[in-house]
């Protein structure tokens, strides 16, 4: 095994957005079984340290690849495309208006303590996000359009944040 290998190679998976999560889970367990620090408890200092590095690398790879947004960012990084999330915050006006409408609806439902409306908004947004991930998979795996995929990732970052805000609102109503 090579500590500098990309995350897909580490788990012997194709470098693609569409990955089998069950296969990823199985490969992660296989790698962890080989490198887990407990297996090296009685080994020398160098072997224990190397085991810890491998286990850390495997955990980082697994956490990245199991989440679609992080997996897409990683694929774009491997392809040399920086999403510039911190420095490039410009978005198309129609998308920003849509975001404002979503946020207003969430704020209104939260303020009115309307659990059913928050769940409805969550389900609608979850479906929208799912369709956007399908499009992203096609852009990355089928077309290889990294520029458009970068734009879609940036949009999905907004939408994922909004999903978390709705989850937080729902949780606050349950308290």
Domain ranges of the chain: 7-66, 93-174
At the second CATH level, the architecture of 93-174 is Up-down Bundle (1.20)
pLDDT at 88: 63
Q: Which residues in 111-146 are b (16+ Cβ under 10 Å) and which e?
A: eeeeeeebeebbeebeeebeebbeebbbbbbeeeeb
Could you give the count of Cα atoms lying within 13 Å of 6 in the half-sphere of its Cβ? 14
Cα–Cα separations (whole angstroms), residue 146 to 39, 79, 141, 157:
41, 8, 10, 16
> Pick the residue with more confidence: 159 or 1?
159
pLDDT at 154 over 70: yes
**What's the rounded mean pLDDT across residues 22-35?**
93
pLDDT at 69 over 70: yes
Q: Which CATH number fits domain 7-66: 1.10.1060.10, 1.10.10.60, 3.40.640.10, 1.10.287.110?
A: 1.10.287.110
Q: What are the structure tokens assigned to 110, written together?
A: 């939260």
pLDDT at 127 over 90: yes
In whole angstroms, what is the distance from residue 49 CA to residue 83 CA? 34
pLDDT at 48 over 90: no
pLDDT at 39 over 80: no
Cα–Cα separations (whole angstroms), residue 21 to 54, 69, 111, 112:
21, 14, 38, 38
């Amino acid at each position: 095994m090579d500590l500098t290998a990309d995350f897909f190679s580490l788990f012997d998976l194709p470098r693609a957005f569409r990955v089998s999560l069950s296969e990823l889970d199985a490969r992660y367990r296989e790698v962890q079984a080989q490198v887990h620090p407990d297996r090296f408890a009685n080994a020398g200092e160098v072997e224990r340290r190397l085991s810890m590095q491998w286990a850390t690398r495997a955990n980082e790879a697994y956490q990245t690849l199991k989440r679609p947004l992080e997996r897409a960012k990683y694929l774009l990084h491997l392809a040399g495309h920086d999403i510039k999330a911190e420095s490039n915050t410009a978005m198309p006006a129609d998308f920003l208006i849509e975001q404002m409408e979503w946020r207003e609806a969430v704020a209104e439902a939260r303020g009115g303590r309307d659990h059913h409306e928050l769940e409805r908004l969550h389900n609608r947004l979850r479906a929208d996000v799912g369709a956007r991930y399908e499009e992203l998979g096609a852009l990355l795996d089928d077309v290889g359009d990294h520029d458009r995929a970068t734009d879609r990732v940036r949009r999905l970052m907004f939408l994922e944040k909004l999903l978390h805000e709705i989850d937080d609102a729902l949780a606050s109503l349950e308290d």
